[in-house]
Structure 1
Amino acid sequence: MTIKKVAVIGSGTMGSQIAMVCALAGYDVILQDISEESLEKAKESLTEHMERRIKKGRLTEEQVKEGFARLTFSTSIHSLNTADFVIEAAVEKLDIKREIFKKLDEVTPKHAILATNSSTIVSSKLADVTSRPDKVCNVHFFNPALVMELVEVVQGPHTSDQTAQMSVEFVNSIHKLPVLLKKEISGFVANRILGKLMDEAVYLLENGYATHEDIDLVCTKALNHPIGPFALMDLTGIDVNYFVRMQRYQESGNESDKPAKLIQEKVERGELGRKSGKGFYTYS
């Protein structure tokens, strides 16, 4: 199978940037979302990102123009009827993802690979609603997808070797660095390690050992991390952290897997990070 057309489901920060990465690499891409407003915001955000890259000399005006020419924005899931490779990047809720995969199975060609960008919901929880479990896998990009080089490809027990290999080759073709996990585990490699760091950072803050600013400073200056854990949660979305922990708690039933009280309170107040203008930090 030759991959010619890519579809990305969900036009939030991750989905829109994944779509642009694929378009810049030469693929025809459909970015699909049920919300016209979300698609408009995605266009505006991508335009700003591309303008900054042109100014910094990382891309030419011609490259950006060609990238946007290959990128289609659509609210119709039926527009995906010619997609060869689909990447779902919707909200981290299992019931929503299962409904999406069921629809994708109905509208996409039978040869199409159906991948989820989730790092917490493994593809075996989605594959059974499709008639092609062998073509379902995780392909996990990191935020911001336009910048971050690594992509985790995860082969579930249902995923064929061919699908895993094609997914790895696809990641290479969009100029990213793939890592193949031969077994499923929630969180994969990076986020399992990062999750332990996040938990400890929140514990230290909740118990008054240090401010979030100082904890971030320690991580960037002593551990040489490019960004501190609280600034990172603001970047990726505090609600994402909340949904991930709730999903883990629903699976395990362990109280320790629940979101921290601090995180829950911020979500309830709508303090979601950069996208809401306030999280642990305030943004203009």
Structure 2
Amino acid sequence: MATGDEPLHFRVLGTFEVTRGARRCTPTAQKQRALLALLALHANEFVPTSRIVDQLWARAAPRSAVAALHGYVTAVRRVLTPGFSSGRASHPVLSTRPSGYVLHLEPHQLDLTRFRQLARHGQAAVAAGDCARAREIFTSALALWRGSPLADLRETGLFDHDISRLEKEYLALLRDRFDVVLCRGDGHLAVCDLEELCGTHPLWERFHEQLMLALCQAERRADALAAYARAYRALSSHAGIEPGPRLRALHQAVLNGDDPFVTGHRHDRALSASRMEPTAFP
């Protein structure tokens, strides 16, 4: 860092936090904190002033919004770098561009960047057939989450879209991790977690499918059939749809007493299913 101090670390996967070593550098004023959170979500990207104003004031910005934004930027810079003078050529982290700003962060400085890097590495391990390594990487990625993203800013309503997107990324990685758990034949370890996810996110068909597979691995076929019945009711009541072809095919296989993990199919299932999206979102 240009200041010669420890690097800043930004965390958006939970309560929004900025720290420098043991020192907290999160702005206390809500608009300043929201500004910095927005820039962190788009680290190393140019964010136009117009976009910032639209988001911070929910498209009902006063005439003084741009002037207020300039004041927020100055205040945020001083929080991030105590003693910083606006007379300097540029701030070491938060720089001004024509009609906008850029927050410059290395990958290790933002938990979201690290999460996405680990997700890609885990998916590469799955593609290489190394389910054990993928499981380890996915677990490390999920450990970066400290709760609901931007939890302290949720009530503002300013980040509804961002929070929804991040939560879907989290659920998608959970789905991928359960695929590699099943790939290794450890479905019995995932039953309780999958039951909870099916109740919380009833429209994610893949979780219902994974629960049925996990119950089969635990030699609980009757419970797997009961899980399908619950999935059918949940999908029809929440979205007015029936289970998709994959889930129906799995149900039929269990009814027939067939092995749902046919020879050579287990890893292919984990690999292909990890790329699938849920039938519908809540």
Q: Could you state the TM-score of these two structures normalised by the residue count of structure 1?
A: 0.30
Larger RCO: Structure 1 or Structure 2 (Cα < 8 Å, ≥ 6 residues apart)?
2
Q: Which has the higher strand share?
A: 1
Q: Could you state the TM-score of these two structures normalised by the residue count of structure 2?
A: 0.30
